[in-house]
Amino acid sequence: MPKRILIVDDEPDLLEMVQINLEMEGYECMVAYDGFRALDRARKEKPDLIILDIMLPGLNGYKVCRLLKFDEKYKHIPIIMLTAEAQQADRLLGEATGADYYMTKPFDADKLLAKVKELLGE
């Protein structure tokens, strides 16, 4: 059974590019364009990994990450924050909310794929 990845970003072009790259590697992808949908899908679908933007409509990525990482049922799901927020303070806040990895945009698709595989234990 393929690993399932939830991709959360409010930029459809970026989301689609990440989705295509992951699906070409055999992953099953789900998408959400805002924080509330992301939290809802994560709780209902229980993905194997989440790629999460920070600046989202509704709930921001920090809140989504914190709500999942501080819940016993979901804290095991690895979260990669993929964001334009490149300041050190943003990175530290991402780590403090429980993100497993913090990657800034623009990003290298191969590096993202390598990190996905690493966090999924592949």
Q: How confident is the model at residue 85 (pLDDT cuts 50, 70, 90)?
A: confident
Looking at the DSSP bridge assignments, the partners of residue 6 are 30, 50
What integer pLDDT is reported at residue 3 of this predicted model? Answer: 98
Number of domains in the chain: 1
Residue 99 lies in a domain: yes
In one letter, which amino acid is 37?
R
Q: How confident is the model at residue 74 (pLDDT cuts 50, 70, 90)?
A: very high
Q: Which range of residues forms the domain containing residue 40?
A: 4-117
Tell me the mean pLDDT in the region 47-65: 96
Residue 72 lies in a domain: yes
| Confidence check: pLDDT of 87 > 90 | no
Cis peptide before 2 (omega within 30 of 0): no
Tell me the CB-side half-sphere exposure of residue 110, using CA atoms within 13 A: 0
Distance of alpha carbon 46 from alpha carbon 23, whole angstroms? 18
Residue 122 lies in a domain: no
The pTM assigned to this predicted structure is: 0.96
Residue 105 lies in a domain: yes
Distance of alpha carbon 47 from alpha carbon 3, whole angstroms? 8
CA 77 to the chain's CA centroid: 10
Residue 12 lies in a domain: yes
Tokens of 12: 């459809």
What integer pLDDT is reported at residue 26 of this predicted model? Answer: 98
Residue 83 lies in a domain: yes
Query: Could you tell me the CATH number of the domain that includes residue 11?
Result: 3.40.50.2300
What integer pLDDT is reported at residue 65 of this predicted model? Answer: 97
Q: How confident is the model at residue 94 (pLDDT cuts 50, 70, 90)?
A: confident
